[in-house]
Structure 1
Amino acid sequence: MYGGANWDNLIKTVRNCTPVKAKRIAIKNPNITFFFLCRQYIVINNQGQLRMFNPGDAVFFSGIPWYGVAPQCDAYNKNHMTVAYTTPDDSQQFLNIASYTLADGSPAVDVVCIFGGNYCTNELPSLRANNNNPPTLNQFNPNIQEVLDSGVVKALQDKGITVLLTILNGHSAVGWSQFTSEIVATAFVNYLKTDIVDKYGLDGIDIDDEYSIGIPNQTSLVMVTSIMQQLMPDKIISKALFNDIHNFDTIYKGKKLSDTLDYGWEMTYGGNPIFRLPQYVDKGMGKDRLSLGFWFGQISPNPEKDVQWIKDNGYEGLMVFDFQAPSDTVMMGTLVNALYGIGNWNCQ
């Protein structure tokens, strides 16, 4: 930031950062819009106040940058976000996601949602493989467990990719919208934190609130996400947005769902985006937290036109479901080139 700039939009400074680490920090906080990373010691005289930064300091801001000339630092803007939902066959297929890069060599996929875990019971473990059919104590299907155990989550993170686990309801009476008790919801969140997020080094949890056969409770989602926000403050809480606009009106301890979700990706695939994303803005979600979903199985008439709409209207980005399918991988490439320009989808 230029010395005469207003620093009121400073969010935080993080020491000992690499460019990869700094970019992942920026993704974790939707309010961050740009940052600079110091390669050398620098003193900035900001309207008489000396601000001193060391090599490796990353300085994060919201708002619009006002850059000056400082050869000791590199500046980065957070422009758009690309999200891939994937059900990988094995760890190598998952690792291959890192081989797709933009023209500058950075990852072409910013966020990967591992699809997924099934919330089946409030008896531990709450996640059960194959929707607990047949009954099992295994938490994940073998392919997902292998990915989580293999170290490839960290391998993608080391490339600058954020990794979330999508958790669906498991065709049972429990579910994201079925909590009626704070005690039960808190126990579930503690389980997710300890046995899932911390254990496997994940960047957060993605919510897919489908397939429960239980009775929905209007307060459930905002209650459980509020508890997640409290117990996992440095982790991302995102949601696959679908048939849920009514949930954004409920207030729990002064918060609405728009206050507890970091990001949302809308998944009524193929429809006109004007009928898909603005309704969430009306309910309090910032455009910089919303992405439009795409799926080759229900493709829109003109995906590139949809991407242009995203850009023209200031939304965060795009999500592709079923990324591991060849047709969806190709479609992601088309969408990325539409988002950033031809030549920005490359496979190393």
Structure 2
Amino acid sequence: MRTNLNLPLTKTLTALFGAVVLLTSACKKEKAALPTDTGNTPSKLSTNAIGVAGPKGVCYVEVNNNDIRNVGNYTLSTGEQLFDIAIIFAANINYDTGAQKAVLYFNPQVTNVLNNKATYIQSLQAKGIKVLLSILGNHQGAGISNFPSQAAANDFAQQLSNAVTTYGLDGIDFDDEYADYGTNGTGQPNDSSFVYLVTALRNLMPTKIISFYFYGPAASRLSYNGVTVGSKVNYSWNAIYGTYSVPNVPGLTAANLGPAAIDIQSTSSSTAASLATQTVNNNYGIYLYYNLPNSDVHTYLSSVSNALYGKSTVYTGTSTTGVTFYQDINYGGTVTSAIPKGTYTLAQLQAYGFVDNWASSVKIPTGWTVTMYANDNSTGTSWTRTSNTSNFTTLSPNANDVVTSVKIQ
């Protein structure tokens, strides 16, 4: 595949251009009235991290490129999990122009994680880690801030609740980015939309987690008719990586707010440690991590955990040697996890992030042989490769976007 317009866009621009975004977008530090309704306020979950006193660690993983199971591979030196909440980044709000309604969309990589919930979701939950699904726009005009009516918000909330139930998730995270409000004839952000949405979702999921990435038009629309977003969500956190800024969400206490946010792959370790120290000193309950890679970064994470808990971080995973398939030519786009030697059906490959009729290039360890098949169960046209291959269109016959099963020796 070359491109896919229905892939969630990276948050990297938030980190790189945060200062510009703050000047040009309605995205931060907006005020709302204190809640007047108390009958359905969510209970605030324990403020301590798993098995240890201190802020909870919340980690976004771009599943287009990285394996979310890696969240479970980091512990403190005393054995407790480093991360408390793992967030699948991300599902999308698409717009059905025929039905004129917002619809929940999963790209192939998110679909793979959800459909293989025992592998990706339940394995983290078995370690005590909560798993949320992040929801953001997809350039189609639909977003969390422009539902035209309470009924429309209720409908989308039902779609989210159904997904949480179907895939055994622990909750939903909202991110008001990339909606491109007004596209396809959709409306602009309004004051009632986000309040209606979180109210409906809280009614449908009274015991699940709802969180808000404090960004976009929704951040300035947190109250409507005396009901506040803060009375319906459990947590909110700063959205600008490498900075410290307390989200202004009335109804949430310091224990449920995260003013510190880092991009693991771009924020310096010294800045990350400084932000952690500020979090502890000011008694806030959340520390936000973004962009956890597949590689071992425990040394970097130790700079944070030492400040948060007085304990270093240990990596408990294994560095797996294996074959990696790429969505695009020249080893671009989404990449699978390393696939060890073996014979794989499509269903077995999907556990590594492989998608049917999708691969365009492959990296092969020295001395290994990979046989790729056009059909499932090692059948159909085949191609045998013994070294890295950067462009499947150069193979004869063309192997681009047709591989379904493989044998690795």
Name 1:332's counterpart in structure 2: 301
Distance of aligned partners of 1:221 and 1:228 in 2 relative to their CA distance in 1, 3 Å threshold: same
Name 2:78's counterpart in structure 1: 104
Conserved? CA contact 1:90–1:147, under 8 Å: no
Higher relative contact order, chain-length normalized (CA < 8 Å, sep 6+): 2
Conserved? CA contact 1:87–1:115, under 8 Å: yes
Name 1:347's counterpart in structure 2: 316
Residue 172 of structure 2 aligns to a residue in which SS? Answer: strand
The correspondence for 1:80, drawn from 42, 50, 55, is: 55
TM-score normalised to the size of structure 2? 0.58
Alignment map for 1:22-171 (pairs within 5 Å): 29-33=43-47, 79-88=54-63, 93-121=67-95, 123=99, 126-128=103-105, 140-150=106-116, 151=118, 152-171=120-139
> Which letter does structure 2 place at the counterpart of 1:302?
T
Name 2:141's counterpart in structure 1: 173
Distance 1:82 1:148 in 2: 22
TM-score normalised to the size of structure 1? 0.68
Residue 218 (str. 1) matches residue 191 (str. 2): yes
Residue 303 (str. 1) matches residue 272 (str. 2): yes
For the aligned residue pairs, the C-alpha RMSD in angstroms reads 2.7
Residue 302 of structure 1 aligns to a residue in which SS? Answer: helix
Shift of 1:103: 2.4
Residue 233 (str. 1) matches residue 202 (str. 2): no
Distance 1:113 1:251 in 2: 28
Residue 126 of structure 1 aligns to a residue in which SS? Answer: strand
The correspondence for 1:255, drawn from 227, 230, 234, is: 227
Shift of 1:223: 1.3
Name 1:269's counterpart in structure 2: 241
The correspondence for 2:282, drawn from 286, 297, 313, is: 313
Distance 2:69 2:310 in 1: 25
Conserved? CA contact 1:186–1:227, under 8 Å: yes
Distance of aligned partners of 1:331 and 1:166 in 2 relative to their CA distance in 1, 3 Å threshold: farther
Conserved? CA contact 1:90–1:144, under 8 Å: no
Distance 1:97 1:297 in 2: 15
> Which letter does structure 2 place at the counterpart of 1:211?
Y
Shift of 1:345: 3.6
Distance of aligned partners of 1:190 and 1:87 in 2 relative to their CA distance in 1, 3 Å threshold: same
Conserved? CA contact 1:84–1:323, under 8 Å: yes
Residue 280 of structure 1 aligns to a residue in which SS? Answer: coil
Conserved? CA contact 1:120–1:126, under 8 Å: yes
Conserved? CA contact 2:72–2:127, under 8 Å: yes
Provide Cα deviations, 1:247-297, integer angstroms capped at 9, x if missing partner: 23x224x321111111012111223x2xx10x526x332111111211146
Conserved? CA contact 2:85–2:130, under 8 Å: yes
Distance of aligned partners of 1:220 and 1:327 in 2 relative to their CA distance in 1, 3 Å threshold: farther
Counting matched residue pairs gives: 261
Distance 2:156 2:174 in 1: 13
> Which letter does structure 2 place at the counterpart of 1:84?
C
Distance 2:296 2:214 in 1: 23
Distance of aligned partners of 1:299 and 1:343 in 2 relative to their CA distance in 1, 3 Å threshold: closer
| Divergent runs of 4+, >4 A | 122-125, 325-330
Distance 2:61 2:47 in 1: 27
Shift of 1:141: 2.0
Conserved? CA contact 2:174–2:212, under 8 Å: yes
**More displaced, 239-248 or 214-223?**
239-248
Provide Cα deviations, 1:124-156, integer angstroms capped at 9, x if missing partner: 88123xxxxxxxxxxx22222111122120111
Extract unaligned runs of 5+ from structure 2.
1-41, 182-187, 318-409
Extract unaligned runs of 5+ from structure 1.
1-27, 35-75, 129-139
